[in-house]
Homo-oligomer: A and B are copies of this chain.
Amino acid sequence: MTVELICVGTELLLGNTVNTNAAFLSEQCAMLGLSMYYQSVVGDNPGRLEGLLQAAKGRSDIIILSGGLGPTQDDLTKETAAAVMGKKLVEDSKAREGIQQFMAKRGREITENNWKQAMVPEGCKVLYNPNGTAPGIIIEDGDTCMVLLPGPPNELIPMFEEQVYPYLHNLQPEVICSRMVKLCGIGESAAETEILDLIEGQQNPTVAPYAKTGEVHLRITAKAESEDAAYALIGPMEEELQRRFGSLVYTDDPQVTLEMAIAKLLEGRQLTVTTAESCTGGLLAGRLINVPGISSYFKEGHITYSNEAKEKILGVSHDTLERYGAVSAQTAEEMAKGGARAAGADICVAITGIAGPEGGTEEKPVGLVYISCWCKGRILTQKNLYTGSRSKIREYSVASALTLLRQAILEEGNTQDSQ
């Protein structure tokens, strides 16, 4: 089945807003095994929207619209979609009640135009919205299914996940299942090269790589007549990916992030960690503290941006800073060792580098970043040279530091196991 997206909103045409809804909906449709060939953005203009809807109706089985369901006169997505599908608008009493409750709970006054949001195309399926006043709508006729969703992501995402995903899943003659294998410590093209033979000529299951900063996610998707049959197709492919990528795989759970996988390793081995950051200035600690409940394993971290702070807090020797400079393997290692001591932690990850745009030299260019991980007396140090903006260099440094931290914990585990 084919699907297309139409996002309605002048704010998208003016560039006020990045269209994250399109990325979310596209990924969800891919997971559902729907083929998407077109996405469009149009303003709150009924004539142009109608033109797009007519074209979409002629070429796609499912049309998903987002935005333009608000209470104002400008919001005309529902009216236009109903007209294209030949439906009248009627009031839905449950939607009216929902609006009343939503506004009452927030102590906001209901204005006359709010009731416009309780009008729905006759015979449609209404998607009630606990997070806002605009209900979503599914309109069906023989050939086409139109899904109308509110624009704000905090309303659209739960409505899609809870109500639209199961609905579209049921429309499919086949079951689609997928699993995600997440890798760290390998680049996208290297990962792709490793599995080119699997990607080429693939039919069912398929493998698709998604590049993230410092990570590669591989989604395996299979279609079959039942869930069991789909997972039976996925299983051997997942084993093959596990075999090829080994310890680079940090999870096969789509909900688990790299920092969550690390937190679990820390918990399993009862290790505490701290950070000593220079150019990343707290972003590494910020990533670790993304994980709820990390507080048992991460108690404190230090941002030592100046040389004085590196000496005072971490005990980096003045001589090392003078002789090798603040951006050097020696300084990184002393930062890691001193950071662990200062915090009384089992592990410390230290980062020192030149994020630019100024401050680079021939010998130590912008993008040169040393990362060192001290783990109970053993030390791993990495020299990296990144390209890109100041913020890109810092983001990649954090991703590499997390990968190095994971490696250090895994090696520590192996050492323990072999003792």
Residues of A bordering B, CB below 8 Å: 12-20, 22-30, 36-43, 45, 48, 154, 208, 210-211, 275, 277, 279-286, 288-290, 292-295, 298-306, 308-309, 312-313, 343, 355-359, 388-391, 394
Contacts and interface: CB of A to CB of B under 8 A. Distances in A.
A299 B293 contact: no
A303 B285 contact: yes
B48 A290 contact: no
A19 B21 CA distance: 10
A300 B297 CA distance: 22
Given A290-B390, A292-B356, A15 B25 contact: yes
B280 A286 contact: yes
A40 B43 contact: no
- The quantity of this chain's copies bound in the complex is 2
Given A18-B23, A19-B23, A300-B313, 16 more contacts: A15-B30, A16-B208, A16-B211, A38-B40, A38-B41, A38-B48, A280-B286, A281-B285, A281-B289, A282-B286, A282-B289, A283-B283, A283-B286, A292-B355, A300-B306, A303-B303
B208 A14 contact: yes
Contacts of A36: 13-14
B286 A281 contact: yes
Nearest to A208: B14
Contact of A282 (B17, B26, B37, B301): B301
A298 B308 CA distance: 11
Contacts of A292: 355-359, 390
B27 A14 contact: yes
Max count, chain B CB within 10 A of own CB: residue among A20, A280, A281, A283: A281
B303 A302 contact: yes
A184 B60 CA distance: 44
Contacts of A301: 281-282, 302-303, 305
Contacts of A22: 12, 15, 18-19, 41
Max count, chain B CB within 10 A of own CB: residue among A19, A277, A388: A19
